[in-house]
Structure 1
Amino acid sequence: MRSTTPMPGNPWPHDMIITVDDRPHTVLELLWMREAHGLRPVGDALPPLLVDRPAPAARPVDEETRERWSAAWSRVWDEVVAHAAVEPDQAVLDRLLDETLSPDERAALLRRLVGPTARDEYGDDVLDDAAYRVWERRGSEAHLATQLTTLADSPEHREVTTLAHAWRRGLEKVVTVPCRGTYVRQIGPRALLVTDEVRRDPASYRAALDSFGPASSPSPSTV
């Protein structure tokens, strides 16, 4: 989101660019896995449960595997959201256009672009699950339905004054997750992770944006 030219009376700074990722696929995959497989991760920065609770995985695992997966989940979560905070490397995108790349070189570049995923820790088969496909399709359809509003009606334009203050403190990206209640976490020096509910609610979104700061590493706020 940006305004390309200065406009008198327009509260959006013409050079402010804010990216909103409201469908972060690698993050969603990990959230689905936690609930569909009944994982019990521990940690003080874990997100709330999903609003749209998935059905149990069609390919369940045994208790020993579930415990091992649970123990790794919070570490993988931190790795995945840390990558979600970073904008794609333009140099990598440009390099992918090179038709002389070998398959291995292309795969390595794509890996850098996508970042850590659930598959890295849990195997390629973990998302080859009928229950995941049903849940993912339902989420995609719901997300598409929310994209019918105009840009002027977006939460970022609605809260542009507070957003601009956060941008001047370094904010460049907002990542949202479809989890319950309030969850606000600064991920890196330039990004904020919030629930869809927080972003939709004016007072909650203003509070989340106000919490952003270059020197702050606030504990996640959850309700």
Structure 2
Amino acid sequence: MGDSVISTTPDPGNPWPRDMLLTIENGAQTLLDLLWVREAWALDPVGEDLPPVLVDTPDRETGGSGADRARWSVAWPALWGACLAHAGSQPDPRAIERLHDPSIPQAERRALLEQVSGPSWRDEFGDAAFTRRYDEWTSARFDEITSPEVLRRSPERERLEQLVPAWRAGLTTIVEIPCRGTFTRRVGPYGLLVTAETRSEPDGYAAALSSFA
């Protein structure tokens, strides 16, 4: 499943500022990979600011070794922080434009791809952790975020009073994760992390947006 990115732009007669463009990132694959691996493989990462558990708990994997789980648990917090920072950042348009040049050397192309795509679990550990259950979980997740009910929702338009000041303070990207409860964090100068529950709850979302401004 690829990233699900929604850009919200103004309609005639709507109070949405004419030049405000916002990205809602509710399918960041690198983050979903980490969240699934943590629970499916019963990892026990230690950190001061780790996200809550998933709403849809995946089935537990039974293969692998205790040594793998221990190694993965140790690496998980730092990798989460790096992937989250990239998900909340602004892409470099020069790097993206450069990638469209077919004449650039392969080494430069690989470096640009790494810059644009950011760090990931797969780059660090390969595909060994991902099984058929992962494919089933991500397929169900894709069906959920592309359902007509979800696509009809417009929580940003319903919270313009809080959104506009946040945007003026630098907010360009809202990263949504399918985790339980409330977990709102500022991600660098441009991003805000929220849970799906927070974004769907008007008062909770208003408070989350107000925390950025």
Tell me whether the two structures share a fold, i.e. TM-score over 0.5: yes
1:23 is matched by which residue type in structure 2?
Answer: G
Matched, 1:49 2:53: yes
Alignment counterpart, residue 124 of structure 1, candidates 126, 134, 155: 126
Deviation per residue, 1:177-206 (Å, 9 max, x gap): 000111101110111000001000000000
Equivalent residue runs for 1:58-207 within 5 Å = 60-121=63-124, 123-146=125-148, 149-150=151-152, 153-207=153-207
The alignment's C-alpha RMSD in Å is 1.8
1:88 is paired with a residue of what secondary structure? coil
- State the TM-score, normalizing by the size of structure 2: 0.90
CA separation in 2, counterparts of 1:149 and 1:187? 25
Find the counterpart in structure 2 of residue 33 from structure 1. Answer: 37
CA separation in 1, counterparts of 2:107 and 2:59? 36
2:23 is matched by which residue type in structure 1?
Answer: T
How many residue pairs align between the two structures? 206
What is the identity percentage for the equivalent residue pairs of Structure 1 and Structure 2? 42
Structure 1 unaligned blocks of 5 or more: 214-223
1:125 is paired with a residue of what secondary structure? coil
After the TM superposition, which segments of 4 or more aligned residues of structure 1 sit over 6 Å from their partners? none
1:194 is paired with a residue of what secondary structure? strand
Matched-pair contact (CA < 8 Å) for 1:172–1:191: yes
Shift of 1:147: 6.7
2:201 is matched by which residue type in structure 1?
Answer: D
- State the TM-score, normalizing by the size of structure 1: 0.86
Matched-pair contact (CA < 8 Å) for 1:11–1:161: no
Find the counterpart in structure 1 of residue 3 from structure 2. Answer: none
